[in-house]
């Protein structure tokens, strides 16, 4: 039994390094899109310009992706922190499971949010920022913004 412990530890450590490397590769793929322009779509029924420009801002701890020039009330944005982002699959990066912000969580000052997830999906020539959560265990929200290059 003890002879299996070291190989198991090595496999677990290598899988964590592999996942970290894949997050880095995913973020590098996003960085290559900085300045690209395309068509924006959303499931929010909000009218905008129909256009988008991808802006990537990077510092020592995070990579932020913005969809600029959309004309939406809120600029679609996702912040991927290198120590907490994780790859869900080859094309989707989970950037946050915490909606806490000044003034409350995603459901407002009274809170009640559950199941929060914010992801970035890079698939073909499209980038999607998606945010899903429930408020007070009843109303489900699913906001999705896609910039097709």
> What's the pLDDT tens digit per position in 50-87?
999 999 999 999 999 999 999 999 999 999 998 899 99
Between 100 and 6, residue with greater pLDDT: 100
1-37 pLDDT, tens digit per residue, is 445 443 433 334 334 434 456 999 999 999 999 999 9
Q: 98, 99, 94, 146: which is closest to 120 by C-alpha?
A: 94
Question: What's the pLDDT score for residue 20?
Answer: 52
Question: What's the pLDDT score for residue 148?
Answer: 98
Query: Confidence band (pLDDT; 50, 70, 90) for 113?
Result: confident
Residue 111, pLDDT above cutoff 80: no
pTM of the model: 0.81
Between 137 and 98, residue with greater pLDDT: 98
> Scanning the structure block, which residue is given the tokens 């002879």?
3
Q: What is the DSSP letter of 50?
A: S
Q: 144, 34, 19, 1: which is closest to 87 by C-alpha?
A: 19
Residues whose CB falls within 8 Å of the CB of residue 23, separated by 6 or more in sequence, listed in order:
80, 82, 85, 86, 87, 93
């Amino acid at each position: 039994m003890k002879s299996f412990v070291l190989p198991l530890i090595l496999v677990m450590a290598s899988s964590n390094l592999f996942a970290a490397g894949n997050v880095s590769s995913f973020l590098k793929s996003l960085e290559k899109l900085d300045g690209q322009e395309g068509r924006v779509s959303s499931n929010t029924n909000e009218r905008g310009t129909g256009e988008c420009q991808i802006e990537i801002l990077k510092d020592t701890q995070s990579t932020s992706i913005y969809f600029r020039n959309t004309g939406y009330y809120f600029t679609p944005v996702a912040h991927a922190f290198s120590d907490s982002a994780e790859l869900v699959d080859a094309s989707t990066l989970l950037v946050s499971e915490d909606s806490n912000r000044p003034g409350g969580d995603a459901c407002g000052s009274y809170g009640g949010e559950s199941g929060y997830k914010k992801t970035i999906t890079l698939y073909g020539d499209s980038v999607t920022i998606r945010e899903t959560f429930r408020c007070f265990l009843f109303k489900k929200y699913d906001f999705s913004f896609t910039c097709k290059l």
